[in-house]
Amino acid sequence: MIKKLIFLFIIWRLLLLGVAYLSPIIIPQFGARFPYFEGRLISSGLPHFIWSFGNFDGVHYLGIAQDEYAYQFTQAFFPLYPILIKLFSYLTSYSLLGFLISNLAFLCGLVIFFKLTKEVYDEKIAFWSCLFLLSFPTSFFFGSIYTEGLFFLLIISSFYLFYKKKIIFASIVGSFASATRLAGIFLAPSLALRRDFKTLIPILIAPSGLIAYILYLQIKFHNPLYFLSAQPVFGQERMTTGIVLLPQVFWRYSKILLTTNGLVLANAAFELSSTIFALAVLFIGFKKVRSEWLVFSLLAVLVPTLTGTLASMPRYILVAFPIYIILAAIKNTMIKSMILIIFLFLLIISTIFFTQGYWVA
């Protein structure tokens, strides 16, 4: 079965590379350029169908790997992923390293995800869960020059170690997750549901990656919460000085859908539908998954919405892995196959747009 998973991963990777290769024929490249586009990506010497997976945030991660936090507001991006790129930069180019690290990390995460799901459920549900994970409409981010592949490996490894009752190791892995993405701190309350003395271990250890980054920002920039204050600069209308409740966000998006058109309308519809889909699946199937998984997933999905926008939600919900398990638990194979086909169609479309420089998530 592990060989089948590796084969599936290779098919998934080759499919997305093929889509990226053909994307310039299908739609024109987006005319605007984001910061350091030419220097970080095109000059890497890689073909378009590889470097295009570093669009948008990938450019900033490469910049941090090369020049640390020399550019203002890049503090919004957490350090572990660019540190790994920097550590192995003697091997090859930064862009290729970022691409390889993401894909290798995701492959490892996919195998551990299968093992975890198989032990809790059975092999059939585990295999279908992996199919839904690979075909999810924004799964291309797992293999992009983004943190998604690494972050998925860390959270799944943490939950796997927790399931094996290796609480300390699970918490240590969780600390690396919190140095990769802010959502990593949600492992602390998720792993602390046992209500015994061992509960203190993940609460104390898992957030240490974030705490280390906060201390670094205080020492270097005299702003320990720079990663929060820098968020609104990236044009997502994200508010970090207050809390906006989900009904207010839904109301705002209903007005966007009624008053816009073109790409703005398409993005808003994608963001809204993805959020509703994730919450609906988690709500309907909450009895089918372990409580610590559900807590983490709900926090990972709901907390970003408190900033007043659903921007990037199609990407953020990727790590809410119980979604794939709940879908895999559907007994009707025909329904599962139809969902899989819809996912694959949307995955191809979103990959075409992303690799051509259009904002997807």
What are the tokens at 41? 């990506």
Rg (CA), the chain: 20
244 secondary structure, DSSP code: -
Other CB atoms within 10 Å distance of the CB of residue 343: 20
d(Cα 207, Cα 56) in Å, to the nearest integer?
Answer: 27
Of how many residues is the chain composed? 361
Q: State which amino acid sits at residue 325.
A: I
d(Cα 228, Cα 238) in Å, to the nearest integer?
Answer: 10
pLDDT value of position 232: 74
* Beta-carbon contacts of residue 219 (< 8 Å; ≥ 6 apart): none
From first to last of its 361 residues, the chain has per-residue pLDDT tens of 889 999 999 999 999 999 999 999 999 988 655 544 556 787 778 899 999 999 999 999 999 999 999 988 899 999 999 999 999 988 888 999 999 999 999 999 999 999 999 999 999 999 999 999 999 999 999 999 999 999 999 999 999 999 999 999 999 999 999 999 999 999 999 988 766 666 678 888 999 999 999 999 999 999 999 998 888 766 566 766 678 899 999 999 999 999 999 989 999 999 999 999 999 999 999 999 999 999 999 999 999 999 999 999 999 999 999 999 999 999 999 999 999 999 999 999 999 999 999 999 8
Alpha carbon 86 to its chain's center: 21
d(Cα 55, Cα 356) in Å, to the nearest integer?
Answer: 9
**Are the CB atoms for 343 and 137 separated by under 8 Å?**
yes
pLDDT value of position 35: 47
What's the whole-model pTM score?
0.95
92 secondary structure, DSSP code: S
Other CB atoms within 10 Å distance of the CB of residue 247: 8
Q: How many helices (H) and strands (E) does the chain have?
A: 19, 0
d(Cα 215, Cα 157) in Å, to the nearest integer?
Answer: 26
**Are the CB atoms for 338 and 3 separated by under 8 Å?**
no
pLDDT value of position 92: 86
**Are the CB atoms for 152 and 133 separated by under 8 Å?**
no
d(Cα 269, Cα 257) in Å, to the nearest integer?
Answer: 7
Buried b (16+ CB within 10 A) or exposed e, 41-63: beebebebbbbbbbbbbbbbbbb
d(Cα 291, Cα 285) in Å, to the nearest integer?
Answer: 11
3-class DSSP string for 151-203: HHHHHHHHHHHHHCCCHHHHHHHHHHHHCCCHHHHHHHHHHCCCCCHHHHHHH
42 secondary structure, DSSP code: G
What are the tokens at 349? 């479309």
d(Cα 355, Cα 16) in Å, to the nearest integer?
Answer: 10
What are the tokens at 229? 């204050």
d(Cα 327, Cα 250) in Å, to the nearest integer?
Answer: 25
